[in-house]
Amino acid sequence: MIEQLQLDFDKIIKTLNISEKEIQLKKSFLRKFIKNGFPNRKQEDWKFLDISQIIKKNIGDLSFFNDYSLPNKIDTSIFVDGLEHNKIIFINGRIEKIDFNYEDQNQIEINDETGKNIIFDTKNSLIDLNNAFTNKVFKILVKKNYSFKKPLIIYHSTNDKIRSKNINLSLNFELEENSCLRLIDYFSDNADKNFVNILYNFNLKKYSILKNYKLDKFRNNNLKYSFNNIEQDDNSISETFILSAGSDYLKNEVNCNLNGEYSSAFINGVLSLKENQQHEIRSTINHLVENTKSYQLIKSVLGKNSKSAYQGRIFVDSKAQKTDGYQLSKAILLDETSEFNAKPELEIYADDVKCSHGSASGSLNEESIFYLMSRGLNYQQSKELLINGFLLDVVEKITDPEIRNLIKNIIGLKE
Amino acid sequence: MDTSEKDIEKLKDYKYGFTTDIENIKAPKGLNEDVIKFISNIKKEPQWMLDFRLKAFERLKLLKEPNWQKPKYPKIDYQDLYYYSAPKSMKDKPKSLDELDPKLLETYKKLGIPLQEQARLNGIAVDAVFDSVSVATTFKGELTKHGIIFCSMSEAIQKHPNLVKKYLGTVIPVTDHFFATLNSAVFTDGSFVYIPEGIKCPMELSTYFRINASETGQFERTLIIADKGSYVSYLEGCTAPMRDENQLHAANVELIALDDAEIKYSTVQNWYPGDENGKGGIYNFVTKRGLCRGKNSKISWTQVETGSAITWKYPSCILKGDNSIGEFYSIAITNNHQKADTGTKMIHLGKNTKSKIISKGISAGFSDMTYRGLVDVNSKAKNSSNYTQCDSLLMGNKCGAHTVPYIKNKNFDSNIAHEATTSKISEEQLHYCQQRGLNSEEAVGLIVNGFCKEVLQQLPMEFAVEAQKLVGISLEGSVG
């Protein structure tokens, strides 16, 4: 693999128009990745689902170079209906189109930041991989007091031209004071057996609001990893909703630093898994100053041979008095081969705080099924109704009514 | 203040902080085959026991000290420790209490161990371990009548080799983790309990451990076997004198419950926690594991952990038999610079197995407390259930409280529920108590005892009173 990495890296460097210093920076990330390799179960954060093994088993050998010289044809049938929106379209990891037609162009800036990698202090080798191989990084800046009129949908689509590829993409967002962005990540795949590695970095200034909805609904055989880093200033709000249902493997990671007072973070997730799927959500919320708040609700429904994991960590610094942190994970196991793992973690150094977490897992309640059947539903209908109700609870947490309805339609939930 | 005054001051803080001047027989410093042979030889052990130790030692050479725990500690030099230390006067074992060294008896008196008459009044049979050798076992007559074996481990190896051979190392094998394997190689003494079929042990059995000689590690090994349909309640209490250096305590405790048997194991651990600056104190790295081997068996751990510089232990239950039950009740209190990383493991293997975990952590001063637990429901453990509750109480913003539960559910018939909260004592509660005439320290004591109530009520009577007092003492000076 090391040879392949080096070879593909040299090819990418040739296509890039960046300075020698930036090349050196990328090289250092490559060296770091070569040294550590893909994460495996020996690392605490990867204990439940071992990405290194899963890549070996599901894909085999990966190649890391993608030829982005020619544009791909945009398939308009994948576009979301019934909701006016701005678009960024990625096909096989190549940015094909950026369309902000609904917005005031003076209020938004899009800058090429390729090569200007933002370095996280982290042991995560997938971030090193991303930093080494991304060919284009844009920064989207929303100016002071501007709210996006329409949501921005980022389409992540693949076509059948690629296989066994590693795709790395990265975006930076900055929300200036009192601005607002609604962002939907929409996945639709036609390709098989690729590993997609997505890295977002958000910088939220005072009073800004970010709503990020990640929708992976359609069944596909790709493996995906997504990392959101969110920095929050005073009174800012971040809301993350994760629908995790489509890919063979998907791990969503959210790292949220509450750096400003009265900032708050919300993470809600639905994992609805069928045969052989393995999905995970891992969240870290760092309460670093006084009067911050976080809320997390994660629910899983697990079918045959599927496996889900939730690792949630709430960290409260000794300065962060009056923190309010809450975390709840629930799972329904539908089959004897399904498996649920959880590690809800609290690390607290301040005394005047309110932190709690809960976790519950089990099968569908037979009594409830009996109740519904006695009212005339058949077994299958009763089961579906109960599962719908279980998941609806999370979807109802979405604060934007337009997008809440869209997501309900996508999941097929009825009230 | 001159030194003697300081010493008196110190003694006030930790009332068990005296040393006893008794001549000791020590094995030479260091860890090697010769020392293990020395220990085995001085205890007149049979060959199979020596083989067991040597096998563990071979294994130990391949093992590394684990380092995933939260409280870090300076590297321990295992070659700089004494692995055997025994009071000289014990060389020829006394036959009755009257023959005991009066100094020893005095020590126990200071500790408040109910030996002799006290024992009779309290109805507790005591097997006291002084450093590495069991001193005296009371109430032997009464127990023998029921066929109960309650003696020191060394005695059991001599007198009941078949039982020891059959069960020793079946729950904690010699191939376990570093500290457990270290114990298997060099363990010195401990308690052995065997309750025969159908017998309900008529009294609470109790051991008092005490580390006396300096620069020794205490490696005791306890083995409790409850045969079919039997019941036993076992109490363990620990104290150690004050010393500036850190001492290592790596014990192994194995419990085995056969069909319909029940074992209740209660610990009050009050090893020397070090002074208020974090100097000295015991490293309490103990492996405790219970195996519910038979159907309908039950093992219940109750622990009150107030001492030790570092506590690092997870009393666990392996629920192998169908319908077996595992319980874990814990209060852990850390003050000053103490650190604790404790919790439990519940491994569900059999059908209809149930487990319950109640953990209360209180941290004050500069201390750090972690609850770490595992609930693992195997795919064969149909219709199992677990309930976990862990609450933490923080006093001041220099301390930390952490909760790290691992939950693995591989069975769709089983239910796992976990709850955890972290909070502080509210101003309203304090105000209410103070209004009714309690000073702030009494008020905190009262509230903390209420917080711990669910665990305290699991303890046997005599222990509950002591534990309640201990809870109060441990938190002295942490308010205001």
Residue in chain B lying closest to A44 (CA): B68
| Nearest-neighbour CA in chain A from B31: distance (Å) | 30
Stretch (H or E) spanning B325: strand B325-334
Task: Bin B353: left if φ > 0, else alpha if -120 < ψ < 50, else beta.
Answer: beta
pLDDT at B126: 56
Q: How many helices (H) and strands (E) does chain B have?
A: 13, 24
C-alpha A208/C-alpha A391 separation (Å) is 29
Q: What is the pLDDT of residue A117?
A: 59
The conformation of residue A53, written as its DSSP 8-state character, comes to H
CA distance A289 to chain B (A): 13
Query: Which residues in chain B have Cβ-Cβ distances shorter than 8 Å to A363?
Result: 412-415
CB A356 to CB B419 under 8 A? yes
Q: What is the pLDDT of residue B325?
A: 95
User: Which of A333, A361, A364 has the highest number of chain B CBs within 10 A, making it the mutation to test binding with B?
Assistant: A361
Q: How would you classify the pairing of strands B400-409 and A339-348?
A: antiparallel
CA–CA dist A19, A129 (Å, integer): 19
Distances (CA, A) of A139 to A117, A154, A196, B184: 11, 14, 20, 60
Mean pLDDT of chain A: 91
Provide the 3-class DSSP secondary structure of residue B404: strand
What average pLDDT does this structure show over A205-214?
96
Of A335, A345, A362, the CB nearest to B415: A362
pLDDT given at position B123: 43
- Residue-wise pLDDT tens digits, A290-349: 999 999 999 999 999 999 999 999 999 999 999 999 999 999 999 889 999 999 999 999
Count CB atoms within 10 A of the CB of residue B377.
30
Q: Residue B471's pLDDT is what?
A: 77
Taking the CA of residue B410 and the nearest CA in chain A, the distance in Å comes to 4
| CB atoms A344 and B399 under 8 Å | no
A352–B424 CB contact, under 8 Å = yes
CA–CA–CA angle A369, A371, A376 (5° rounding) = 95
Burial of B381 (0-12, 13-18, 19+ CB in 10 A): buried
Report the DSSP beta bridge partners of residue B420.
A357, B390
B positions 387-426 inside 8 Å of A (CB): 392, 394-424
Nearest CA among A69, A174, A153 for reference residue A111: A174
Under the banding of pLDDT at 50, 70 and 90, the label for residue B335 is confident
Question: What pLDDT was estimated at residue B117?
Answer: 39
End-to-end CA distance of chain B: 26
Residues A336, B412: C-beta atoms closer than 8 Å: yes
Give the percent of chain A with pLDDT over 90: 65
pLDDT at A67 over 70: yes
Return the ∠ at Cα B402 (arms to B401 and B403), rounded to 5°. 135
Mean of pLDDT over chain B? 80
Minimal-distance CA residue of chain A relative to B391: A356
Q: Do A342 and B418 touch (CB under 8 A)?
A: yes
Phi-psi region for residue B103, left (φ > 0), alpha (ψ -120 to 50) or beta? alpha
pLDDT at A415 over 60: no
- Rounded to whole angstroms, the Cα distance separating B473 from B453 reads 17
Return the amino acid letter for A295: Y
- Residue-wise pLDDT for B267-313, tens only, equals 888 777 887 787 888 888 899 999 999 999 999 999 988 888 888 99
Query: Is pLDDT above 50 for B7?
Result: no
**B255-271 residue pLDDT tens:** 999 999 999 998 888 77
Worst-scoring range by mean pLDDT, A215-219, A380-384, B132-136, B354-358?
B132-136
Contacting residues of A for B427, CB less than 8 Å apart: none
Is the CB of B407 less than 8 angstroms away from the CB of A342? Answer: yes
**Using CB atoms, which residue from B400, B408, B420 is nearest to A349?**
B400
How far apart, in whole angstroms, are the C-alpha atoms of residue B278 and residue B240?
Answer: 16
CA angle A392, A398, A400 (to 5 degrees): 130
* Residue A151 pLDDT: 94
Q: Is B307's Cβ below 8 Å from some Cβ in A?
A: no
CA distance B328 to chain A (A): 18
Q: Do B412 and A334 touch (CB under 8 A)?
A: yes
**Could you tell me which of B235, B272, B249, B247 has the C-alpha nearest to residue B188?**
B249
Tokens (6 digits) for B439: 């000073």
pLDDT reading at A147 higher than 90: yes
Q: Which of B409, B421, B424 minimises the CB distance to A333?
A: B409
pLDDT-derived band at A175, boundaries 50, 70, 90: very high
The residues on A that touch B, with CB distances below 8 Å, are 44, 318, 321, 331, 333-363
The count of other CB atoms within 10 Å of the CB of residue B75 is 6
Q: How confident is the model at residue A224 (pLDDT cuts 50, 70, 90)?
A: very high
The CA distance from B469 to the nearest CA of chain A, in Å, is 24
What's the mean pLDDT in A104-112? Answer: 90
Q: Identify the burial level of A81 via C-beta atoms within 10 angstroms of its C-beta, where 0-12 means exposed, 13-18 middle and 19 or more buried.
A: exposed
Q: Please give the Cα distance from A198 to A126 (Å, whole number).
A: 9
- Asked if A324 and A291 touch (Cβ cutoff 8 Å), the reply is no
Burial of B140 (0-12, 13-18, 19+ CB in 10 A): middle
Looking at the complex, does the CB of residue B378 fall below 8 Å from at least one CB of chain A? Answer: no
Count of alpha carbons within 13 angstroms of residue A362, beta-carbon side: 15
Q: Is the pLDDT of residue B216 over 60?
A: no
For residues A198 and A167, the answer to whether their CB atoms sit within 8 Å is: no
- The distance of A327 to chain B (nearest Cα, Å) reads 10
Distance CA B318, CA B381 (A): 12
Q: Determine the residue of chain A that is closest to B373 in CA distance.
A: A343
CA distance B260 to B324: 8
At residue B385 the predicted structure's pLDDT band, cuts being 50, 70 and 90, is: very high
For range B192-213, the mean pLDDT = 77
> What does the DSSP assignment read for A2-20?
HHHHHHHHHHHHHH----H
Q: Is residue B399 helix, strand or coil?
A: coil
Using an 8 Å Cβ cutoff, are A181 and A103 in contact? no
Query: CA-CA distance, A290 to A275, in Å (whole number)?
Result: 44
A248-305 per-position pLDDT tens digit: 999 999 999 999 999 999 999 999 999 889 999 999 999 999 999 999 999 999 999 9
3 state DSSP class of B205: strand
**What DSSP state is assigned to residue A266?**
E
N-term to C-term CA, chain A: 50
